[in-house]
Chains A and B, each alone.
Chain A
Amino acid sequence: DTGASQNPRHKITKRGQNVTFRCDPISEHNRLYWYRQTLGQGPEFLTYFQNEAQLEKSRLLSDRFSAERPKGSFSTLEIQRTEQGDSAMYLCASSFFVLASTDTQYFGPGTRLTVL
């Protein structure tokens, strides 16, 4: 499987503005994950969906962050009132989850956010 697809690939915004990113999972994948990766670090989990249900949110996901997957297909991640500390690569991954098997996640190319 190739990975999920994401857009935009790059986003530059001014502090205080809102931004929205989109992730399209691999076809028929029922799980969709969002991670954030800062420079020199491994990705950190933010949240995930199974179909349209958001099943877990990390403490990293402040009130300014919201994610949706309204029809169980693509997902959006919105950041309101961006701060410079939000600058990072935002990664999306998808998987076809089946009980009692390993959940292999396939990542998209990421959206690089720069907050000025």
Chain B
Amino acid sequence: TQLLEQSPQFLSIQEGENLTVYCNSSSVFSSLQWYRQEPGEGPVLLVTVVTGGEVKKLKRLTFQFGDARKDSSLHITAAQPGDTGLYLCAGGGGNEKLTFGTGTRLTIIP
């Protein structure tokens, strides 16, 4: 069974600070996706990474896929209240279902 562990589970920081959340597994994934989920809504895709060592930037968000394609990180620069939400990583095993992590609940304090 493929498992994805996210850390930290909860993170509360002041507006303007930087933060990094992690997604780790003992399994190799062919792709890894990051989603953000608001309360009562479905996950919204932020990025997909597919190549070991790949780095993608989305404004103030930087995503990295580990060289061995077992882990990933999400770094947010100068966090804003609008970044508040549940961040989920999800591993793709090929062409089928996603395996989700348990999520990191981020709160940005104005």
Contacts and interface: CB of A to CB of B under 8 A. Distances in A.
Contacts of A45: 97-99
A103 to B, nearest CB: 5
B48 interface: yes
Given A42-B102, A102-B31, A107 B95 contact: no
Nearest to B4: A42
Given A91-B43, A102-B50, A110-B41, A41 B99 contact: no
A106 B30 CA distance: 18
A21 interface: no
Contacts of A93: 42
Contacts of A112: 40
Contacts of A106: 45
Interface string A38-74: 0011111100100000011010000000000000000
A103 B96 contact: yes
Given A102-B31, A109-B42, A43 B95 contact: no
Interface residues of A, number: 28
Given A42-B88, A112-B40, A104 B100 contact: no
Interface string A82-111: 000000000101000101001111111110
Given A42-B90, A42-B100, A43-B100, A104 B44 contact: no
Contacts of B48: 102, 104
Interface residues of B, number: 25
B92 A102 contact: yes
Contacts of B90: 42-43
Most chain B C-beta atoms within 10 Å of own C-beta, residue among A41, A105, A110: A105
Interface in A19-51: 33, 35, 40-45, 48
A3 B4 CA distance: 24
8 contacts: A3-B42, A6-B42, A35-B100, A45-B99, A97-B95, A102-B50, A107-B42, A110-B41
Interface of A: 3, 6, 33, 35, 40-45, 48, 55-56, 58, 91, 93, 97, 99, 102-110, 112
